[in-house]
Structure 1
Amino acid sequence: MDVTFGLAHLSALHLDPPSLVTAASEAGFAAVGVRVFPATGTEARYPIAAGAPMTAETVRRCRSTGVSVLDVEAFTLDGARGPAEWMPALEAGAELGARVLNVIGGDPDSSRLQDTLAVLAADASRFGIRPCLEPISYQCVDTVAKAARLAEGTGAGIMLDVLHFVRAGGTVADLEALPTGVVEVIQLCDGPATVPDLPTPTELPLGQSVDGSSRQIESRAHRLTPGSGVFPLSDILRALPNVPISVEVPSAARVAREGAGAHLKDLHRATTTLLTSPDTAGVR
Structure 2
Amino acid sequence: MENQFSLAHLTVIDSPPPEMTYLAARAGYDFVSFRPIYMGLPGESNYNLAQNKQMFKDTKSAMKETGMKLLDIELAKIYDGVDPKSYEPAFEVAAELGARHVLSSIWTDDRNYGIERFAEICELAKPFGLTVDLEFVPIASVVDLAGAMDVLRTAKQENSGLMIDVHHFHRSGDKAEDLLNVPRDWFNYLHLCDAPVEIPSSKEEMTRILREERSYLGEGGIDVAGVVDRIPNVPYSIELPNIKKTQELGYEEFARRCLQTAKDYLNRQVKT
Q: TM-score, normalised by structure 2?
A: 0.92
Distance 1:98 1:67, change over 3 A: same
Tell me the equivalent position of 1:3. 3
Question: Does residue 1:41 correspond to 2:41, yes or no?
Answer: yes
Tell me the equivalent position of 2:157. 154
Tell me the equivalent position of 1:68. 69
Q: Secondary structure at the match of 2:128?
A: coil
Counterpart CA distance in 1 for 2:227 and 2:81 is 34
Contact 1:50 1:92 (8 Å CA) reproduced: no
Question: Does residue 1:130 correspond to 2:131, yes or no?
Answer: yes
Structure 2 gap segments, 5+ residues each: none
Tell me the equivalent position of 1:248. 239
Structure 1 gap segments, 5+ residues each: 199-211
Distance 1:39 1:170, change over 3 A: farther
Tell me the equivalent position of 1:78. 79
Contact 1:55 1:96 (8 Å CA) reproduced: no
Question: Does residue 1:264 correspond to 2:264, yes or no?
Answer: no
Aligned residues: 268
Q: Secondary structure at the match of 1:242?
A: coil
C-alpha displacement of 1:183: 2.1
Richer in helix (by share): 2
C-alpha displacement of 1:173: 2.0
Counterpart CA distance in 1 for 2:157 and 2:114 is 11
Tell me the equivalent position of 2:226. 235
- The share of aligned pairs that are identical, in percent, is 27
Distance 1:49 1:177, change over 3 A: same
Contact 1:185 1:245 (8 Å CA) reproduced: yes
Contact 2:14 2:45 (8 Å CA) reproduced: no
Amino acid in the other structure paired with 1:104: S
C-alpha displacement of 1:175: 1.1
Counterpart CA distance in 1 for 2:104 and 2:148 is 10
Deviations 1:162-200 (Å, cap 9, x if unpaired)? 1111001011122111112112211000011114699xx
Tell me how large the CA RMSD over aligned residues is. 1.9
Q: Secondary structure at the match of 2:129?
A: coil
Distance 1:280 1:50, change over 3 A: farther
Tell me the equivalent position of 1:107. 108
Counterpart CA distance in 2 for 1:192 and 1:59 is 38
Amino acid in the other structure paired with 1:77: I
Question: Does residue 1:218 correspond to 2:221, yes or no?
Answer: no
Match of 2:191 among 179, 187, 193: 187
Q: Secondary structure at the match of 2:38?
A: coil
Contact 1:38 1:75 (8 Å CA) reproduced: no
Amino acid in the other structure paired with 1:9: H
Moved over 3 A (4+): 38-41, 195-198
Deviations 1:175-229 (Å, cap 9, x if unpaired)? 111112112211000011114699xxxxxxxxxxxxx701111111100011111
Amino acid in the other structure paired with 1:192: P
Amino acid in the other structure paired with 1:70: L
Counterpart CA distance in 2 for 1:115 and 1:168 is 24
Q: Secondary structure at the match of 1:239?
A: coil
Counterpart CA distance in 2 for 1:120 and 1:171 is 29
Distance 1:247 1:197, change over 3 A: same
